[in-house]
Structure 1
Amino acid sequence: MNAKAHPVTATDPTERKPSEKGAAENNISQLQAVIFDVDGTLAETELAGHRVAFNRAFKEFGLDWHWSAALYGELLAVTGGKERIRLYVETYANQMLGRADLDAWVASLHQRKSEIYSELVLSGAIPLRPGVARLIQELRTAGIRIAIATTTTPAGLRSLIMANFRHDMDMLFEVIGAGDIVAAKKPAPDIYQWVLGRLNLPPEACLAVEDSYPGLAAARAAGVPTLVTVNGYTADQNFDGALSVVSDLGEPNVPANPIAGLPLTQECVDLNQLRTWHRLYSETSQRAVL
């Protein structure tokens, strides 16, 4: 797990000089880091990736289970692959609840599913969503710090990044919060709090990019303003409280479509647009405090 965070100082912020306090407040009002979700945000991984991998793993384990597109949409109500297997068992295969080794069996099934998913991703079957590679490159060029906050496994993330960027994920993202690194998964804020701690940044200095209500709820609970890029599974979810909701990040000449929240003022979501949204958020937050 990558956690190349800046060192935490022991200085008490209340002891800062007035000029230092002003500089700190100014830094918070400026966008310093962008934290990305993975599944459904960086790529459309669910329908043609995770779902397919689950079904292949079920077959290898001698199960007659099959997760259709519609059923998988229902299971997405919970985050985490092991948690979805558990939900399916409790709802559709409760005879399995009597297994003494259920936890170990679920972990083994999920491990095989993760291996199959990595193979699918490395084959090039799951490209990034529009605008993702462009925006990440813009952020890197501008020196904006980039992090990940996801429930997907580190191996799955590594395969997705390697297949699409031809770089290891540690070269692109400063902090990576993935898999079971925290016990409570989204919509709990734990993964965002973990990432913020390693970035050593306050939530107000960051911006999250999510695709679902649980992701939005997790980021907001951690105090991070959030952009939502919807997909086929999440388009009808409630995104009240998001900075802005758009169809995707868009590409030049292939515009993103605005849906709700702060307006999209150009064809695609780029660093300037993120900075504009973040500035408006900061100004609104400051007025609310006064």
Structure 2
Amino acid sequence: MADVPVALEAVIFDVDGTLVDSERDGHRVAFNAAFEAAGLPDRWDVETYGQLLRVAGGEQRLAFWFESTGRSRGEALDLAQRLHRRKTQYMQALVTEGAIQARPGVRRLLDMLETNGIALHVATTGTRAWVEPLLHGVFGSRFHTIVTGTEVPQLKPDPAVYERVLQLTCHRPGAAIAVEDSANGVRAAVAAGLRCVAVPNAYTRDDDLARATLVADGPDDPVLVRWFQRQLAGGG
């Protein structure tokens, strides 16, 4: 007997680089401000930061940078921990100033899903201190469940953050779809049993996104919109 298709109930979104353009003009700027405030000469230009994004997690990224630029392992870890706290404060300030905005097409996609009764959730390894005000400031109260790296410290590609969303919402993996921008994000979603569509940005265009069900040019890609319309119509 053929499997009966499971109706779409929910879409789970990543935040950085997926819902918002936050890496180049958000996180990178905040990291550089933290370097300056600490009296350090380190600075990350656009290209350098793009390369560092291969290291998952802000604190881990800092530790990698400090060690690769000549600090001892212990000094690198200590600096990373202290700088990351300061960086989070600068990121919060950027969020408050409205410096980070939705990617083109995101609001239209959210509107379409909400109109069709689809629950919207977030699975990010970003820190809740800036994630929650960012989502509220840019999107209002659209998202039903928000799970962040503050609650789930395991970084993507570990599927833990997606598994927590599924646990909290009681959605079966087959009834939910993830939206990601990077290889690590896609791997995390797929490992949690989810179908995942990828909307890469300038930093993740060259990522290996082969595990994604669909790779679109961005949230405003008509191909992505039509694909979701088919899911809403039960087309699989």
Q: CA deviation at 1:59?
A: 0.6
Confirm or deny that 1:203 pairs with 2:173: yes
**Partner deviation per Cα, 1:42-69 (whole Å, 9 max, x = no partner):** 0110001100100001110111111121
- Contact 1:123–1:163 at 8 Å: present in 2 too? no
Which residue is 1:72 aligned to? 49
Match in the other structure for 2:211: 241
State the distance in 1 between where 2:70 and 2:8 align: 47
1:97-108 matches, cutoff 5 A: 97-99=73-75, 102-103=77-78, 105-108=79-82
- Secondary structure of 2:50's match? helix
Q: How does 1:1-290 map to 2 (within 5 A)?
A: 29-95=6-72, 97-99=73-75, 102-103=77-78, 105-165=79-139, 167=140, 171-250=141-220, 256=221, 264=223, 268=225, 271-275=228-232, 279-280=235-236
Give the TM-score of the pair, scaled to structure 2. 0.90
Q: Distance in 2 between matches of 1:34 and 1:126?
A: 22
Summarize the Cα distance change of 1:273–1:154 in structure 2 as closer, same or farther, 3 Å threshold.
farther
User: Do the aligned partners of 2:125 and 2:153 also contact (CA within 8 Å) in 1?
Assistant: no
Shift of 1:111: 1.8
Between the aligned partners of 1:279 and 1:65, the Cα distance in structure 2 is: 51
2:163 and 2:54 mapped to 1: Cα distance?
Answer: 22
Runs of 4+ in 1 over 6 A off after TM superposition: none
Q: Percent identity?
A: 39
Contact 1:249 1:269 in 2 (8 A): no
Residues 240-268 of structure 1 show CA distances to partners (whole Å, capped at 9, x for unaligned) of 12111111121xxxxx26xxxxxx28xx4
**Aligned 8 A contact 2:173 2:193 in 1:** yes
Aligned partners of 1:217 and 1:147: how far apart in 2?
18
Task: Please tell me the residue identity of whatever aligns with 1:157.
Answer: V
Per mean C-alpha deviation after superposition, the further-off stretch among 200-209 and 175-184 is: 175-184
2:186–2:209 CA contact under 8 A, matched in 1? yes
> RMSD of the alignment, in Å?
2.3
Shift of 1:115: 1.4
Corresponding position of 1:284: none
Contact 1:149 1:192 in 2 (8 A): yes
| Alpha carbons 1:209, 1:226 under 8 Å: kept | yes
1:138-161 CA-partner distances (Å, limit 9, x unpaired) = 322322111111111112222322
AA aligned opposite 2:138 = N
Task: For residue 185 of structure 1, report the CA deviation from its aligned partner.
Answer: 0.8
Q: Secondary structure at the match of 2:81?
A: helix
Q: What is the rounded CA distance, in whole Å, between the counterparts of 2:235 and 2:193 in structure 1?
A: 15
Deviation at 1:84, TM superposition (A): 0.9
Paired amino acid for 1:153: T
Q: Residue 274 of structure 1: CA displacement?
A: 4.3
Counterpart secondary structure, 1:113: helix
Cα deviation 1:88-112 (Å, max 9, x = unaligned): 12222423x234x944x53332121
The two structures have a TM-score, normalised by structure 1, of 0.74
Q: Secondary structure at the match of 2:27?
A: helix
Distance change in 2, residues 1:93/1:149 (3 Å): farther
